[in-house]
Structure 1
C-alpha cells in the first residue's frame, strides 16, 4: 500500500482534530459563576473509543468504574458529568473548558496547566498523581544517529505545546543545543508514523508512542527520560478550577477522595496486570505499556502516590521557571498559589491510607543522574 505524502497526512490529521474538538466542545455544559450548589460536577479526561464506547485514561477510568464518586454526589442531588477529550487535542481543549467554566476538574499534564494559569485561568493542583510519564526520542531507520547532538540540522517531529515539549527542551539545554539547531515539525503523534516511514522527518519526540514505533520497525529509540533526572518526566495531576474549589470545598474533597481511592487500588500489586491491560485499551499493546513502566527504578506502589513531596513542588517550580525563562508563557506562575494542600490529607485519613505511600519520592539512581543524551 502506498504511503501518503505528508501534506495529505497533515491535512487529514488537522481536519480530524478540528472536527473532534468541535464535537467535544459542544458536549461541555455551560455553567455560570454561582456559589449555589451545582446541579452537575464536570470532570474532563483523556479518553478514546474502545468496543463502541469512550473509555477514560488512568485514574479517571478507575474512578468511573468504581462508581463511589457518582453515588456520593447523587446523595447530594448532583450529577457527575464526564467530558471525553481526545488525545489529539488533549490539554488545549481542557484549558479551553477550564477557561470557559465548563470544566470543574481534570487530570492532565503539568506544562499545559502552567500555560493555563499563566494565561489567567485560576487552577489549583488538588491532588498529585504519581511519579510522571516517560518520553522517547526515536530516529528513522537508516539514520546514523545515537544521541541528540547527532540530529543537529535534522527534522524532528514535536507536537508543540504538549507536555513532552518540556523534557525535549531540557534535553537540548543539557547538551548545549537550541530548538533553532533543528528543523522542528509541529505534527501530532497520529501523523508521525507515516511521516517517519516516508523519510519526511528524521526523528520524533513522543510519549510511549515512541516504543510502539520501534516495535513496528518504523524507527529506533536512542534516548528516553529513563536516562534523565526524575524532574524531566512529564507529570499529570488532578487540577480543579480555582473558583469552584473555593466555593465548594466539600465537593472538591469528594473528588479528591475518589482519586485517592483509585490511586490506592491501582497501587496494589494484585491489580498491576489489570492496570496495564486497562492502559492498553487504546492504541497501545499491553507489552508496550509494560515496557514503558519497566527499568526506571520506581516501585509499583509509588507510581500512584498522591502525596505532596518536595520533589513534586520543586518540579512545578522548575516547570514554571523554565516556561517563563524560555518565553513559553508571558506571566510567571506562582507555584505556591497553584498547589492546594487542603484535600489529600483528609482523603488519606478517610480511606485509612496514612502511611500507605512513602512521604518522599524514591531517590534518583546514578544512571538517572548521568548527563542525559551524552554519547
Structure 2
C-alpha cells in the first residue's frame, strides 16, 4: 500500500516548503514562534555545543506543528518541537519521525477565546458556532476535550481550519465565533483584542496538561543517536532550566525577534516551564489517551500505538 503522507491526512495545510537535504555535519532544526527554541537560537547554544564537533546548525521556522512534522517527511529538517497532537496525526500518516524527549504541559498556554463582548459564556454555548483552529495542532485537542466536558462533540460545532495568522484575522473581523490557539499567539491576541478565555487546560487537566515533544527524523536519530543523546537533548534541558530561572533576561533577548514589548513576553514566560525530559511509559500513556480521543472522533483512521514512535536512543 502506498504510504499516506501527513499532507494527505491534513489536506488544509500549505504545501511543504522547498528545503534542501541535509549536508554532512549539518543539523536542521525546525522551530515555531513560541516555546524554548527561539531562545536557544538567539543565544546560539546549539552552535556553541556542536561547532567543536564539526556540526553547523540551520534554523527553519514553521507556522505550526503539523507543518513542522511534514518537513520530516520530505527530509527538510532533522529535529523539531511540537505540541502533543501533531505527532499523533503524523504517526497515523506514517510520517518519518521519532519522539526523542518531552516537555511538561502548560495549563494556561493555550485557550478557547471569544471577543470581550461575545454573548458566549461557556463551552456549551459553542454549539452550532464557527470555531477557528489549526487542524492537527495542540489546540485541536483542547477543543475536543473542552467540548467533551460540556457533553458535546466536534459534530456539534463548525470547525474552521485556519493557520494562526488567518484565524486571528477571521477572529478580529467576526468571521468566526471563537478561536482556539496556543502561545505566543494567545498572549499576543489577548493583549491586542482583550479576548476572553472560555477554557484552557487549567480546568480540563490542571495536574497533567498534554506534553509537548521534541522529535527527530527517524533516519537522523538512527545515524546520529549519540549526538542527540549526549549533546542536543542536554542543551535543550539546560536551556530550559536557564529560561525558567531568568525570565526577564529571556524576554529581553527574544523580544526583538517578535517585535513586541518585553513586558508581553515576560507575561507569557511567567506561565510556562521549559526543559527537555526523558521519555517514560507514563508519558507514553498520557499521549496514548490523546491519540485514542482523536481516533474515537474519527480524526485519525486507526488506533495507533504511540510508544512505537518513541526513540530508544
Q: TM-score, normalised by structure 1?
A: 0.69
Out of 44, 60, 67, the residue aligned to residue 30 of structure 2 is 44
1:199 deviation in Å?
2.9
Out of 52, 58, 69, the residue aligned to residue 46 of structure 2 is 69
1:359 paired residue number: none
Do the aligned partners of residues 267 and 181 (structure 1) sit closer, same or farther apart at CA in structure 2, a change above 3 Å counting? same
Question: Does the 8 Å contact 2:101/2:276 carry over to 1?
Answer: no
Do the aligned partners of residues 166 and 277 (structure 1) sit closer, same or farther apart at CA in structure 2, a change above 3 Å counting? farther
Matched, 1:83 2:60: yes
Matched, 1:320 2:294: no
Q: Give the match's secondary structure for 2:179.
A: strand
Radius of gyration: which is bigger? 1
Deviations for 1:73-102, whole angstroms, at most 9, x for unmatched residues?
3333332222222x2xx2233222211223
1:58 paired residue number: 35
Do the aligned partners of residues 192 and 68 (structure 1) sit closer, same or farther apart at CA in structure 2, a change above 3 Å counting? closer
- Equivalent residues in 2 for 1:235-314, closer than 5 Å: 235-253=211-229, 254-268=231-245, 271-278=246-253, 280=255, 281-282=257-258, 285-292=261-268, 303-304=274-275, 306-308=277-279, 312-314=283-285
1:310 deviation in Å?
6.1
1:177 deviation in Å?
0.4
- Equivalent residues in 2 for 1:126-137, closer than 5 Å: 126-132=100-106, 134-137=109-112
1:111 paired residue number: 85
Question: Does the 8 Å contact 1:136/1:211 carry over to 2?
Answer: no
Q: Distance in 2 between matches of 1:303 and 1:41?
A: 22
Question: Does the 8 Å contact 2:115/2:193 carry over to 1?
Answer: no
Question: Does the 8 Å contact 2:83/2:213 carry over to 1?
Answer: yes
1:368 paired residue number: none
Q: Distance in 2 between matches of 1:196 and 1:291?
A: 22
2:170 paired residue number: 195
Do the aligned partners of residues 283 and 231 (structure 1) sit closer, same or farther apart at CA in structure 2, a change above 3 Å counting? farther
Q: Distance in 1 between matches of 2:281 and 2:253?
A: 30
2:145 paired residue number: 170
Unaligned runs of 5+ in 2: 1-12
1:219 deviation in Å?
3.7
1:165 deviation in Å?
0.5
Unaligned runs of 5+ in 1: 1-16, 32-36, 48-56, 343-375
Question: Does the 8 Å contact 2:132/2:159 carry over to 1?
Answer: yes
1:243 deviation in Å?
2.2
Question: Does the 8 Å contact 2:39/2:254 carry over to 1?
Answer: no
Question: Does the 8 Å contact 1:196/1:218 carry over to 2?
Answer: no
1:289 deviation in Å?
4.2
Do the aligned partners of residues 109 and 80 (structure 1) sit closer, same or farther apart at CA in structure 2, a change above 3 Å counting? same
Do the aligned partners of residues 337 and 141 (structure 1) sit closer, same or farther apart at CA in structure 2, a change above 3 Å counting? same
1:169 deviation in Å?
0.4
Matched, 1:97 2:71: yes
1:185 deviation in Å?
2.2
Out of 21, 29, 47, the residue aligned to residue 30 of structure 1 is 21
Give the RMSD, CA atoms, in angstroms. Answer: 3.0
Do the aligned partners of residues 162 and 231 (structure 1) sit closer, same or farther apart at CA in structure 2, a change above 3 Å counting? farther
